[in-house]
Structure 1
Amino acid sequence: MTETCRTQPFSGQRPGTSGLRKPVKTFMQPHYLENFVQSLFDCVKEIEGATLILGGDGRYHNREAIQTILRMAAGNGLGRVIVGKGGLFSTPAVSALIRQHGAVGGIILSASHNPGGPGGDFGIKFNTANGGPAPETLTEAVYARSQVIDRYHIVSANHVDIDTLGEHRLNGLAIEIIDPVSDYARLMESLFDFERIRGLFRSGFRMRFDAMHAITGPYAHTLFERMLGAPEGTVIHGTPLADFGGGHPDPNLTHAAELVRQLSRPEGPDFGAASDGDGDRNMILGHRCFVTPSDSLAILAANATRIPAYHDGLHGVARSMPTSRAVDRVAQKLDIPCYETPTGWKFFGNLLDAGRITLCGEESFGTGSDHVREKDGLWAVLFWLNLLAVRGQSVAEIMTEHWTRFGRDVYTRHDYEGVDSARADTLMNALRSRLDTLPGQPLGRHLITAADDFAYTDPVDGSHTQGQGIRLILGEEARIVYRLSGTGTQGATLRLYIERLETRREYLQADAQRQLADLITLAGEIAGVAQHTGRDAPDVIT
């Protein structure tokens, strides 16, 4: 029987670029999750009788939240909910299933790369019928509804068994528990030359994939070890845990340190990769070399026609504004469009749906294509494996050839995490106040040719987005970007992005931090980073 429960609004339920993320203890407050889910159901059109995809990355509170959402789905008249066994689904798998089943959308329970456990973070986001993250028009409507909500609908019911494959009925709602991996694995097999990759592993090729005790473990075991024949043990930390084994499921050089150490040893594997909490990010490593996400996107674009799914070429490419201009140079030589968008995968959605682009990516370890409407960590790893199998070269050799042909956009990102929000805002506002006077000023041996606060007008629907990060353009040679990230739940994360084009062959292999040392110092000085943050060094460097 459906109950209508009275409630009161909670402040601060505004979804960010990746949904609503808060500490677990916030979500565990009575009515907190229910309020947000009801606000969502109230704002999604044509929800009566519709199909919904539901799952998460297995973090703490995932299973309990699924039980609540199932009861609310029944209470709000949905027709079918497809749930991953154990409540598990990767974000790209949800995107694929939405498109496969013609669902009204999907609810993904994840805080992505944020830590989990009772003292960690929890999150919830909604992907729409195209498989992509909800646009701002919907997220703002949900937020507005959450601030006036006074009731929610829920069915009083027993616990639903989400650990056994099959169907259940709940007050007229059909609940289908499916294998979270099989449909996604079949999609990957349709895109890549699995037989060619099997041959790579038969040749003695060695790989390590770090699932970081997050969602991609079951997917990686199936794809790499069972379907592609990689030796057992190729996948490490492959069991999803509610607290990610006490680790931080962010695939970068700091948080995937064990994988980096393995690839750095003289006897280390030929190839390494890692993914994050919900499976949409990726880090790519060769033996003793790191591929920046910006370079990875550019290399995949330059080699796309070697891969079965992209044999006919690319419609275009897109990158987020802070991502280096490496893919721009590839697009120019391939004579295809290249779009620069704000950070947030939803901005790629219109371009993908309109057929304007085929590949896209962000510097924050996200890469994807038109097969889904999310970034896709395992897709990127499989793309690299297919490329390595076809080219018969090492990761380092492929990178060197790419830099020789296109030049190297030497790139780094410095993260200052947990900065007091007011102090971070003061820094950004001080920079904004100087944008009109900075062009024409020298910056070390460079000249600032332009300075702005990045804004974007969507070429498909004409929507306009402002305040996306401050850019200091140093001609075609270099660039500095300052941006506040919204992915954390404590304070603000200030991110500095520094890049410089290098075309001299004798310097192509030089260490990025040494190559960019002068610009790193100048970027900190011109914005007063130490003064405003109270920090003398970043927390994370990638």
Structure 2
Amino acid sequence: MTLKSATVQTTPYEGQKPGTSGLRKKVKVFTQKNYTENFVQCILDANGSAISGSLLVVGGDGRYYCKEAVEIIARICAANGVAKLLVGQNGILSTPAVSSLIRHNKAYGGIILTASHNPGGPDNDFGIKFNCSNGGPAPDGVTDKIFQLSTAIKEYKIVEDLKIDISKIGTNCYEVDGKPFVVEVIDSVENYVNHMKEIFDFGKLHDFVSGKKTGTPLKARIDSMNGVTGSYVREIFLNCLGATPDSVVHTTPLEDFGGLHPDPNLTYAKDLVDTVAKGDYDIGAAFDGDGDRNMIIGRNAFFVTPSDSLAVIAHYLECIPYFRKNGIQGFARSMPTASAVDLVGQKLGKEVFEVPTGWKYFGNLMDAGRLCLCGEESFGTGSNHIREKDGVWAVLAWLSIMEHTGKSIEDILKNHWSIYGRNYFTRYDYEECELEPCNQMISTMEKTITDPAFKGREFSSLGKTYKVKVADNFGYTDPVDKSVASKQGLRVVFEDGSRIVMRLSGTGSSGATVRMYIDSYEKDNVLGKASEMLKPLINIALEISDLQKFTGRTAPTVIT
């Protein structure tokens, strides 16, 4: 089919600045005239002449407006000289699957359509982000350029007559302005499942999950929350590992996630938590909309914090064939994440890196061969098999540890604490607050804690006293390329290692989300209740930040 491109005049929209992982706005914002077209054109323009003749991967979490956006992207890519697109069937590809496809096909990059853990539907959220040739999110230099271009865009190129049926697997060939253009619609799960088979021992896991090893099938509840992981979960857990059919729930990707909020935490995955608490289950797990986040709970809904999950996986990496084959390099965590993995790194003699929030900061370290496992307290865990966090991978890692140790999730954690001590941790989220008062709060708190007189101050609550050792606005210099990220979150570190961290999230679609992180290390008192152990520090954090005054909130939206 022979087609011609056209140039369409347009005007800029304010606010097309990618956040921690792409541009996220309400669907009604993206569906404004030329809004999506502008942003996609700026993504391509930010990559310059390299986009001509390139291969890109396109897919998303199946939320509302995903299919329409895929078609727009294809038409604009065709007009801008892209040679080929790999598109997930029906526009479906998990974020980890896109990263894997980019790396396996040596693609120039990928465009991912997701608002991650944000709710979906016509009145909720949508998002677009660009991943680079290493499979990871675009670095600050690229996203800054995209934003700069978005403030001055005057035109975009498009092939209006290009029509693609993305419901059918197959190769579609066109001629655009005299050059070949190919759109290959691929099976959404095949490449990713094969990748997991290269990493884990599926034979051992099948015997463990199906009950062949123990005589009793594993009692699991794996909840995809009607997000993108449903297709992957059915293929891996049912078809490959022999789990019982009732082990997986909410596995049909829906445009509005069936009314669920696909954020795998104790608040939004309450159905999973309640079911496991009342039932007979060895493991419960949930994923977010695009499949990169995960939550793990054990029998009686025993909760594994993401910080502990990262540390436990680090301790047991050698039970996973991929790491026995490729070796164990360093570990890393985002700055707000509790430092449990640091203790494992020290014991194993591995480098441990503390980076800003955002998975893109792990990529350089992985590409340089200095990092093989990393995680964020926001329910993200992953390794150097791709350059994104990976929810399904994390559950397979936990199943491997359970199979290897023969222990329950709770016993694995208690054994870990007996070796390393425990980092008690919680995060308070105050969602959709007014932006300006939140900015004022952060500015005021920064002035307070960076005053030289603040160091050495003592704060007391509920009979506990903490003395300030360090307080700053976290900055990071990449040890590989020496790039600098400044003002990444306010930290107050006390002499006993306890910490308060405050920052504004970059993953919301409107307003501001204030995140307050509290963690405290205990060497011996490892079996306490986290909410009670951390209450004194929570009170002190609210005092230092004056959060209630600035936000008007008396309680957080979500506690994890």
| TM-score, normalised by the number of residues in structure 2 | 0.95
**SS of residue paired to 2:130:** strand
The answer (yes or no) to whether the contact 2:199–2:322 under 8 Å persists in 1 is yes
**SS of residue paired to 1:77:** coil
The superposition leaves residues 90-148 of structure 1 with CA deviations (integer Å, 9 ceiling, x where unpaired) of 00100010011111100000000111100001100000011000011111111111111
The answer (yes or no) to whether the contact 1:58–1:87 under 8 Å persists in 2 is yes
Q: Distance in 1 between matches of 2:444 and 2:82?
A: 49
**SS of residue paired to 1:537:** coil
The superposition leaves residues 365-390 of structure 1 with CA deviations (integer Å, 9 ceiling, x where unpaired) of 00010000000110001000111111
Q: Distance in 2 between matches of 1:197 and 1:521?
A: 45
Instruction: Report the CA distance between 1:156 and its aligned residue.
Output: 2.3
- In the TM superposition, 1:93-492 aligns within 5 A as 93-170=97-174, 171=176, 172-201=180-209, 202=211, 203=214, 204-265=217-278, 267-288=279-300, 289-311=302-324, 313-434=327-448, 435-436=450-451, 437-444=453-460, 445-492=465-512
* Match of residue 87, structure 2, among 59, 83, 87: 83
The one-letter code of the counterpart of 2:492 is L
Range 360-369 or range 511-520, more displaced: 511-520
- Runs of at least 5 residues in structure 2 that lack an aligned partner in the other structure: none
Instruction: Report the CA distance between 1:476 and its aligned residue.
Output: 4.1
The answer (yes or no) to whether the contact 2:497–2:521 under 8 Å persists in 1 is yes
* Match of residue 20, structure 1, among 12, 20, 23: 23
The superposition leaves residues 236-282 of structure 1 with CA deviations (integer Å, 9 ceiling, x where unpaired) of 100000001111110000000010011112x4210011110111001
Range 458-467 or range 38-47, more displaced: 38-47
Instruction: Report the CA distance between 1:159 and its aligned residue.
Output: 2.9
Q: Distance in 1 between matches of 2:519 and 2:42?
A: 42
The answer (yes or no) to whether the contact 1:408–1:502 under 8 Å persists in 2 is yes
Q: Which runs of 4+ in 1 moved over 2 A?
A: none
Q: Distance in 1 between matches of 2:527 and 2:276?
A: 17
Instruction: Report the CA distance between 1:509 and its aligned residue.
Output: 2.1
The one-letter code of the counterpart of 1:229 is G
The answer (yes or no) to whether the contact 1:196–1:390 under 8 Å persists in 2 is no
The answer (yes or no) to whether the contact 2:469–2:495 under 8 Å persists in 1 is yes
The superposition leaves residues 141-192 of structure 1 with CA deviations (integer Å, 9 ceiling, x where unpaired) of 1111111111111112253110111111233310101101011000001101
The answer (yes or no) to whether the contact 1:211–1:236 under 8 Å persists in 2 is yes
The answer (yes or no) to whether the contact 2:61–2:227 under 8 Å persists in 1 is yes
Q: Corresponding residue for 2:70? A: 66
2:67 equivalent to 1:47: no
The answer (yes or no) to whether the contact 1:281–1:377 under 8 Å persists in 2 is yes
Q: How many residues align?
A: 539
The one-letter code of the counterpart of 1:311 is R
**SS of residue paired to 2:245:** coil
The answer (yes or no) to whether the contact 2:314–2:341 under 8 Å persists in 1 is yes
Q: Distance in 1 between matches of 2:520 and 2:145?
A: 41
Q: Distance in 1 between matches of 2:247 and 2:111?
A: 31
The superposition leaves residues 294-333 of structure 1 with CA deviations (integer Å, 9 ceiling, x where unpaired) of 0000000011111111126421000000000101111111
The answer (yes or no) to whether the contact 2:125–2:509 under 8 Å persists in 1 is yes
2:522 equivalent to 1:502: yes
Q: Distance in 1 between matches of 2:169 and 2:496?
A: 55
Range 392-401 or range 160-169, more displaced: 160-169
* Match of residue 515, structure 1, among 533, 539, 543: 533
**SS of residue paired to 1:187:** helix
The one-letter code of the counterpart of 1:482 is M
The superposition leaves residues 485-537 of structure 1 with CA deviations (integer Å, 9 ceiling, x where unpaired) of 01112211111111111122xx3222110111111111111211111111111
Instruction: Report the CA distance between 1:477 and its aligned residue.
Output: 3.1
The one-letter code of the counterpart of 2:193 is A
- Runs of at least 5 residues in structure 1 that lack an aligned partner in the other structure: none
The superposition leaves residues 216-237 of structure 1 with CA deviations (integer Å, 9 ceiling, x where unpaired) of 0000000001100001121110
| TM-score, normalised by the number of residues in structure 1 | 0.98
Range 370-379 or range 161-170, more displaced: 161-170
The answer (yes or no) to whether the contact 1:325–1:409 under 8 Å persists in 2 is yes
Q: Distance in 2 between matches of 1:279 and 1:146?
A: 29
Q: Distance in 2 between matches of 1:148 and 1:519?
A: 46
The answer (yes or no) to whether the contact 1:73–1:173 under 8 Å persists in 2 is no
